[in-house]
Amino acid sequence: MRRTTVADEIKKLILTRELKPGDLLPTETELCETLDVSRSSVREAIRTLSTLDIVDVRHGHGTYVGAMSLDPMVEALVFRGVLSPDGSLAALREVVDVRLALDLAMADNIVDGAIDDDSDELSALVDDMVDKASRGEMFLEADRAFHTKLFAVTGNRLAAQLVGAFWDIHTAVIPQLGITVPADIQRTAEAHGDMLASALRGDVEGYRRAVVEHYKPLQRAISARRNEQ
Amino acid sequence: MRRTTVADEIKKLILTRELKPGDLLPTETELCETLDVSRSSVREAIRTLSTLDIVDVRHGHGTYVGAMSLDPMVEALVFRGVLSPDGSLAALREVVDVRLALDLAMADNIVDGAIDDDSDELSALVDDMVDKASRGEMFLEADRAFHTKLFAVTGNRLAAQLVGAFWDIHTAVIPQLGITVPADIQRTAEAHGDMLASALRGDVEGYRRAVVEHYKPLQRAISARRNEQ
């Protein structure tokens, strides 16, 4: 039996036993017996499934059904992004364009969504960003938290995961590129406040404008870096 | 040395030697010597990188730098999609919403893009879809080809890959759901023609309307299936 087939058999077993993310998988010995394959085939298949985040091997505890996150995609894309300096810039620009596209496209859902409950937390994140920007510091964590929290209200788990995944690519690629903190990063910090305020008063157009503004300092930094090369 | 570390070392080697997708990697023996690790560690790392499409093992030929596609993401998401019948429908709806978002967001780039060169080919794909739909048949291949070709003109490789990836998830999940060919699938086929015609005459709003129309039969089929459950 080929490796992919054993992995497929384990996937089938997860389905037929109706296991959910976080549930414990049968032991290696049990899998060998149930699937009638060697221990090394089971290990290989588990490794493949673990790389894909379909199972989660917790050493000393057992193997669980994984979260099936987009982490494998992030790993491949980050690597593609750093393959060459020129490629990285192009990759980063693509990521920014797709993020912008998703942000604009989900504007209605976000403005209509129930963000009132989260407004204090979102507001605190904006304050944190503005504060850091005023000291010339980056604010990646607060920025990521702001966007993922905002997308969570859309109820579209895939869109929310994608935003998180693009954020990770973004964050991993930027330091490799030697892009310094843009001088006008303060505007990005403040534009998050405009996004939040527009969303809270139900102003979709205002939200969209703030989204566009919010990417401009980064887009300018990427263009400047491109011209240097 | 841990498995992830050997994988990281191989990634570093790809970077420092400036290898590109399709280039041949050093042999297993050379990797063992260069990285000073055991053969089994190298094999494990290669397997991990192969699952992530970072390397491509061609048996009997050698190991090459991979295409770093979004296939690993597709595999995890398809599986997440089929984990439960209810989850599949929700997952499919999320995929459709994200596809719609990307299609709408990229409308400007597509309408402004140089699709004139591809218009004969796109036109032939539309004819194929309309023809199949008139016989009550599905037209998945032509549909996928149409969308990926259209996105290729945006020059955003990530967006184009995402559209392809979502298409694959979409195609893999639909049969599991027992969604039959919608009675009004003809409209979807024809709406592709409207998308193309609008793009060719530079009509962004017309393009957006055709995109929205084009998803409606599928969205209705998903809702109907939801109500049955």
* Residue that wins the pLDDT comparison between A82 and A20: A20
Verify whether the Cβ–Cβ distance B102 to A101 is below 8 Å: yes
Contacts of A77 in chain B (CB under 8 A): 68, 70, 158
By C-alpha distance, the chain A residue nearest B17 is A83
Give the pLDDT of residue B160: 83
- Mean residue pLDDT of chain B comes to 86
Give the pLDDT of residue A1: 39
Over residues A52-75, mean pLDDT: 88
Residue A12 and residue A92 in one domain: no
Residue A222 and residue A160 in one domain: yes
Residue A105 and residue A156 in one domain: yes
**In this predicted structure, which of A82-91, A113-122, A198-207, B204-213 has the lowest mean pLDDT?**
A82-91
Q: How many domains does chain A have?
A: 2
Contacts of B54 in chain A (CB under 8 A): 75-76, 79
Over residues A35-56, mean pLDDT: 93
- pLDDT level of residue B84 (50, 70, 90 thresholds): low
Length of chain B: 229
Supply the ipTM of this predicted assembly: 0.76
Distance from CA of A123 to the nearest CA of B (A): 27
Give the pLDDT of residue A2: 45
* Residue that wins the pLDDT comparison between A208 and B79: A208
Verify whether the Cβ–Cβ distance A156 to B94 is below 8 Å: yes
Q: Spell out which chain A residues touch chain B, with contact meaning CB-CB distance below 8 angstroms.
A: 11, 14-15, 18, 20, 44, 47-48, 51-54, 68-70, 72-73, 75-77, 79-80, 82-84, 90-91, 94-95, 97-98, 100-102, 104-106, 156-159, 162
Residue B222 phi, psi (nearest 5): -65, -45
- The two tokens of residue A17 are 């036993």
Verify whether the Cβ–Cβ distance A68 to B82 is below 8 Å: no
Residue A83 and residue A49 in one domain: no
B1 Cβ contact partners less than 8 Å away, ≥ 6 residues apart:
B9, B37, B41
Strands (E), chain A: 55-58, 62-65
Is A70 strand, coil or helix?
A: coil
Q: pLDDT digits over B119-172, tens only?
A: 999 999 999 999 999 998 888 889 999 998 998 888 888 888 888 888 877 777
Query: Residue B160 to residues A94, A178, B100, B166: CA-CA distances in angstroms?
Result: 10, 27, 14, 10
* B65, B92, B107 - which closes a domain: B65
Q: pLDDT digits over A102-145, tens only?
A: 898 889 889 988 788 889 999 999 999 999 999 988 888 899 99
Residue A31 and residue A50 in one domain: yes
String of b and e for A6-21 (b: at least 16 CB within 10 Å)? Answer: bbebbbebbeeeebeb
Give the pLDDT of residue A55: 95
Nearest in space to A73 (alpha carbons), one of A179, A149, A167? A167
Residue B16 and residue B46 in one domain: yes
Give the pLDDT of residue B2: 45
**In contact, B192 and B172? CB cutoff 8 Å:** no
- pLDDT level of residue A77 (50, 70, 90 thresholds): confident
- The two tokens of residue A99 are 């993020």
Residue A38 and residue A95 in one domain: no
Residue A98 and residue A185 in one domain: yes
Looking at this protein, which amino acid is placed at residue B167? W
- A205 has pLDDT over 80: yes
- B3 has pLDDT over 60: no
Give the pLDDT of residue B5: 83
A141 Cβ contact partners less than 8 Å away, ≥ 6 residues apart:
none
Residue B128 and residue B28 in one domain: no
Is B222 strand, coil or helix?
A: helix
Distance from CA of A126 to the nearest CA of B (A): 26
Name the one residue in this structure whose structure tokens are 């409207």: B194
Phi-psi bin for B123: left (phi > 0), alpha (psi -120 to 50), beta?
alpha
Please, what sign has the CA dihedral across residues A175, B13, B161, B171?
negative
Among A73-82, A156-165, A173-182, name the most confident range.
A156-165
Name the one residue in this structure whose structure tokens are 């309309």: B130
Looking at this protein, which amino acid is placed at residue B143? D
**In contact, A122 and B189? CB cutoff 8 Å:** no
Distance from CA of A192 to the nearest CA of B (A): 20
Tally Cβ neighbours within 10 Å of residue A143.
Answer: 22
* Residue that wins the pLDDT comparison between A19 and A76: A19
Residue A41 and residue A82 in one domain: no
Over residues A58-76, mean pLDDT: 86
Query: Residue A75 to residues A66, A222, B53, B55, B69: CA-CA distances in angstroms?
Result: 17, 22, 10, 13, 11
* B29, B47, B65 - which closes a domain: B65
Is A19 strand, coil or helix?
A: coil
Distance from CA of B122 to the nearest CA of A (A): 24
Verify whether the Cβ–Cβ distance A98 to B95 is below 8 Å: no
- pLDDT level of residue A86 (50, 70, 90 thresholds): low
* B65, B87, B111 - which closes a domain: B65
- pLDDT level of residue A76 (50, 70, 90 thresholds): confident
* Residue that wins the pLDDT comparison between A63 and B116: A63
Residue A202 belongs to domain with CATH number:
1.20.120.530
B36 Cβ contact partners less than 8 Å away, ≥ 6 residues apart:
none
What is the Cα–Cα distance from B198 to B205, expressed in whole angstroms? 8
Residue B29 belongs to domain with CATH number:
1.10.10.10
Burial of B28 (0-12, 13-18, 19+ CB in 10 A): middle
Residue B202 and residue B133 in one domain: yes
- Mean residue pLDDT of chain A comes to 86
Residue B39 and residue B127 in one domain: no
Distance from CA of B110 to the nearest CA of A (A): 13
Q: Give the gyration radius of chain A's Cα atoms.
A: 22
Give the pLDDT of residue A229: 64
Over residues A4-27, mean pLDDT: 88
DSSP tag of A52: T
- pLDDT level of residue A71 (50, 70, 90 thresholds): confident
Domain that holds residue A186: 71-228
Among A102-111, B65-74, B192-201, name the most confident range.
B192-201
**In this predicted structure, which of A21-35, A61-75, B25-39, B176-190 has the lowest mean pLDDT?**
B176-190
Nearest in space to A199 (alpha carbons), one of A211, A191, A207? A207
Helices (H), ranges, B52-184: 71-82, 85-105, 107-112, 119-134, 140-152, 157-177
What is the Cα–Cα distance from A25 to A38, expressed in whole angstroms? 17
